[in-house]
Amino acid sequence: MATDIPIFEKKNVLVTGGAGFLGSHVCERLLKEAHVICMDDLSNSSIVNIEHLLQYPDFEFIKYDVTKPIDLLQFPELEKFRVRFQGVQEIYHLACPTSPKNFDSLKIQSLWANSRAMLSTLDLAVQYRAKYLFGSSSVVYGDPKTEDQIFSEEDEGIVHHLSPRGCYDEGKRFAETCVETYVQVYGLDAKIARIFTTYGPRMKLRDGLLIPDFILDALAGEELVIYGEDSMHQSLCYVTDMVDGLVRLMNTGPETRLLNLGSDQSRRIGDIARQIISMTRSTSTIRYENPLVFLTKKGIPDLRRAKEQLDWIPLVGLEDGLRRTIDYTLAHKETVSFTTGY
């Protein structure tokens, strides 16, 4: 039975990629107001990220590959949420590999996440008339022409669809087209969040992600590796701000469909590395290497639409966010040899 309104006391929300970095924080936030179904195949994420949530009766983890058709009735553990009668009211589709160091080995998974998984999750939204939010990326804008280029939602961008990154960059563009097509054909209330670089606790360690790797190397007194030049800039949004933006976007009406989310403050990568060295009281130095394929230059988001339609701006300053991330890394660095959470 499909419905737009929960029959029982709480709405049911599905989060794909829910054991990943961003997904686990979304699950944690939604537990305040919903029954949360976390779906993840753990191929590029970790159960460690959601271990603290497993104790809650309103949370259920389902190990499943969302590139396959999704039938929620096949999971008996969801009977407690009365999915057979209530369905799901919201779907956050966040499942997609984002590994800079292992990008080459995850290309097919990226391709499927931006195609097969789009269709399976959108079909589920049609089945239950659920609201839908897709975690897209700033990569759809293509390479910025200048270090401080600002991208608004109207910018179309140019993406090299046959490049080594095409499965991700062009994949995100195709995924957005899937969302818009389902809106046009089925009348879904679906949203696209163009997510700019986000950081914080539970980022995958030793995976080529700058912030956690900088912190680990600084704590160990080893060289901090910058994949590129010292002058490279990047905007950094702390994860709780990003989650707040995503939830606010989901809670808007169907007239709100596409928004940039991220920080509009750009920082030099070299300055961030030096700040982490200082905050950890490290003796580390900095080394420069060739850029990784998955790490490309990114512009700055124009946040006017997010401010007007969501009343949203990032609130956590860089120093505060880095301190929280350093504290988390200190507590979990011993697990770096076996964790796969990102």
With H, G, I as helix, E, B as strand and everything else as coil, classify residue 198. Answer: strand
Q: Is residue 284 part of a domain?
A: no
Are 38 and 94 in contact by the 8 Å Cβ rule? The answer is no
Distance CA 303, CA 310 (A): 10
**What is the residue whose two structure tokens read 């029959």?**
7
**Residue 333 counted as domain residue:** no
With 0-12 / 13-18 / 19 or more C-beta atoms within 10 angstroms meaning exposed / middle / buried, residue 80 is exposed
User: Which residue of the set 168, 182, 199, 342 is catalytic?
Assistant: 168
How many domains does one find in the chain? Answer: 1
Kindly state whether residue 55 falls inside one of the protein's structural domains.
Answer: yes
Q: Which amino acid is at 170?
A: E
Least confident span in 111-120, 139-148, 214-223, 297-306: 139-148
Whether 163 is in a domain gets the answer yes
Inside any domain, residue 322: no
Global confidence as pTM: 0.92
- Greatest mean pLDDT range, 6-10, 227-231, 239-243: 239-243
Amino acid type, 72: L
Decide if 63 contacts 95 (C-beta within 8 A): no
> Annotated catalytic, 328?
no
Residue 220 inside a domain? The answer is no
Render pLDDT for 249-260 as a digit per residue (tens, 0 to 9).
Answer: 999 999 999 999
Domain membership of residue 89 (yes or no) is yes
Helix (H) or strand (E) holding 84: helix 83-86
d(CA 1, CA 155): 40
Containing structural domain, residue 70: 11-197+238-264+297-315
pLDDT of 271-304, one tens digit each? 999 999 999 999 999 998 887 766 667 889 999 9
How many Cβ atoms are within 10 Å of 142's Cβ, its own excluded? 20
Q: Give the mean model confidence (pLDDT) for residues 109-135.
A: 97
What are the tens digits of pLDDT across the range 169-222?
A: 999 999 999 999 999 999 999 999 999 999 999 998 877 678 999 999 999 999
Q: Is residue 80 part of a domain?
A: yes
How far apart are alpha carbons 339 and 333 in whole angstroms?
10
CATH number at residue 145: 3.40.50.720
